Amino acid sequence: MPRPKALVTRTLLPDALDIIRAVADVEVWPDEAPPSASELHGLAAHADGILTTIMDRVDAALLDAAPNLRVISQLAVGLDNVDVAEATSRGIPVGYTPGVLSKATADLAFALLLGAARRTSESERWLRGGGWQIQFHPTHWLGQDVHEACLGIVGLGQIGREIARRARGFDMDTVYHSRTRYPDAEAEYGIRYAEFSDLLAQADFVMLSVPLTPETHHLISGPQLAMMKPSGILINVSRGPVVDPAALYEALRDRRIARAALDVTSPEPIAPDDPLLTLDNLVITPHIGSAALPTRLNTMKLAARNLVAGLQGEPMEACANPEALA
């Protein structure tokens, strides 16, 4: 029986690729930049399975171009680039990588929160620019306390819960808002449910941890930023389009909120001349939430195992649409 054909749209660490190579003939897109849509369609024409990243648009056009496709495995927990409903309608299961990257992403969320609160990037830029001329000044570089501050988490999935767990270690007063109330998490992490507008008004730190959906697109725009405290700090570790960038720019420029910290932007990559990058009160990183080596390797291995399971017609460890095979 011929081996199945797998397409992997970006170079993976060898241990993860080996999992796929053990059962399939693998074609790996070799470039740093992703394939264009037409290149991807061409490559997928003979693929039985495809391992994608958030930069690959998996839609009806791709599925039309890949008539043999029987599994999609996404190397991410977010699936906003994948038309899962379309895959389901064609009986194609979609794997993804929840859980394995939640702790690393929550760690990065706290790095951003702490960095914005204590002004680490801003003061480092000043130091490197030769600004540190006086050893100590009692009124220089005053930031905000993190301990005992109020943290508002928007979205209480696995990453949101890991953020809540970390907040306990900082003695934070944590509120959360999500579509569903979670009494188990309230008891486990000592957190309280709040309506969205109450959370925005109460929180010293507003932490976004929601998937990107039509409902969460521009969830934070002018009116929501206006509800935040003037001393408030917004942190986004979810997806860039959850925040309206023009509204955020204005709120930061006019000091209507104190600071923001973004690991995700809209668009990605952010343009070098984007006005947000002119602001000192913005901390920004290039979508590195889950980019810690052990976590990334485990994520790649999970995506590889999901792909192999799909190729072999077995249940995946993490499938977004198990009903596709029902």
As annotated, the active-site residues are: 239, 268, 287
Q: Which amino acid makes up residue 283?
A: V
Nearer CB in complex with ligand DGY: 76/235: 76
Beta carbon of residue 292, minimum distance to ligand DGY (angstroms, whole number):
12
Beta carbon of residue 66, minimum distance to ligand DGY (angstroms, whole number):
22
Give the count of residues interacting with ligand DGY (CB under 6 A): 7
Torsional class of 313: left (φ above 0), alpha (ψ -120 to 50), beta (otherwise): left
For residues 296 and 9, is the Cβ–Cβ distance under 8 A? no
**Residue carrying the six token digits 């990605």:** 268
Nearer CB in complex with ligand DGY: 222/240: 240
Q: For ligand DGY, which stretch binds (CB under 6 A), given 73-81, 128-136, 144-152, 192-200?
A: 73-81
Beta carbon of residue 150, minimum distance to ligand DGY (angstroms, whole number):
26
* Single residue of 47, 76, 159, 191 touching ligand DGY by CB under 6 A: 76
Beta carbon of residue 189, minimum distance to ligand DGY (angstroms, whole number):
22
Q: Which pairs with CB-CB distance under 8 Å and at least 24 residues apart come from 162-169?
A: 162/102, 162/103, 162/105, 162/106, 163/106, 163/109, 163/110, 163/207, 163/209, 164/189, 164/191, 165/106, 165/189, 166/106, 166/107, 166/109, 166/110, 167/191
Nearest to 25 by CA among 59, 9, 56, 48: 48
Beta carbon of residue 125, minimum distance to ligand DGY (angstroms, whole number):
26
For residues 123 and 141, is the Cβ–Cβ distance under 8 A? yes
Nearer CB in complex with ligand DGY: 77/282: 77
The structure tokens listed for 265 are 């932007």
Q: For ligand DGY, which stretch binds (CB under 6 A), given 11-19, 76-84, 129-137, 269-277?
A: 76-84
Going across the sheet that includes 71-74, the strands are 25-28, 5-8, 49-52, 71-74, 94-95
Residue 317, CA distances (Å) to 102, 119, 190, 195, 320 in order: 16, 41, 30, 34, 10
* Single residue of 290, 298, 306, 321 touching ligand DGY by CB under 6 A: 290
Interface with ligand DGY includes 212 (CB under 6 A)?
A: no
Beta 192-193 vs 49-52: how paired, if at all? unpaired
Beta carbon of residue 247, minimum distance to ligand DGY (angstroms, whole number):
22
Interface with ligand DGY includes 101 (CB under 6 A)?
A: yes
| DSSP H or E run through 250 | helix 245-253
Q: For ligand DGY, which stretch binds (CB under 6 A), given 70-78, 118-126, 167-175, 276-284?
A: 70-78
Interface with ligand DGY includes 289 (CB under 6 A)?
A: yes
CA distance 98 to 320: 10
Beta carbon of residue 83, minimum distance to ligand DGY (angstroms, whole number):
16
Q: For ligand DGY, which stretch binds (CB under 6 A), given 72-80, 170-178, 183-191, 305-313?
A: 72-80
- Footprint (CB under 6 A) of ligand DGY, residues 112-171: none
Q: For ligand DGY, which stretch binds (CB under 6 A), given 18-26, 75-83, 123-131, 198-206?
A: 75-83
CA distance 304 to 310: 10
Interface with ligand DGY includes 77 (CB under 6 A)?
A: yes
Nearer CB in complex with ligand DGY: 77/151: 77
**Interface contacts to ligand DGY, rule CB under 6 A:** 54, 76-78, 101, 289-290
